Amino acid sequence: MSDSKIKMVAPPDGVSGEGFFATSLNDVVGMARANSLWPLPFATSCCGIEFMATMASHYDLARFGSERVSFSPRQADMLLVMGTISKKMGPILRQVYEQMAEPRWVIAVGACASSGGVFDTYSVLQGIDKVIPVDVYVPGCPPRPEQIVDGVMRLQELVRSESVRRRSSPEYQELLASYNIK
């Protein structure tokens, strides 16, 4: 590889030099969390198929630190809700969310998870934000794998810039209390 193709990444803000590097704890923890998200897929329909393509070799979500897909909420920190969620499934989704350890983040993938999609009926939940807080919305019906990758990258930016103390802040506790989550 020639030198012209090597792209150097600038260090985060701080003091750097030969043999040492100084930065804030928030930046280090944020970078570590953002680059090691463990996804938990909660797929109920066609968006789940697009997520499978996202994890496959062509799009390879593992490039972004999300290689270990977890099927246990206790071992995941990123919940991807994909597909139509009925009102009967709302409590189950909430239970899965509550079983995840803090810090935890949620991505609503597709129109159905974001707003109920084309199913404006009595039995379909009109957006998962009615039962759990959502950090990133990925539009589409179903969204392309590139859009899901973009949603994960947006979540990584949020995680990278999030304060270590945000989860214990009064604002965050108030948000959880608005969902009756302790």
Per-residue pLDDT at 51 exceeds 70: yes
Per-residue pLDDT at 94 exceeds 60: yes
Q: What share of the chain is helix, strand, coil (3-state, %, to 5)?
A: 45, 15, 45
Per-residue pLDDT at 130 exceeds 70: yes
Entry pTM:
0.84
* Separation between Cα atoms, residue 18 and residue 43, nearest integer Å: 48
**pLDDT at position 7, please?**
63
**pLDDT at position 4, please?**
55
Q: What radius of gyration, in Å, describes the C-alpha atoms of the chain? A: 18
20-22 and 15-17 strand pairing: antiparallel
Nearest to 132, CA basis, from 153, 170, 105, 112: 105
What mean pLDDT do residues 141-150 have?
Answer: 92
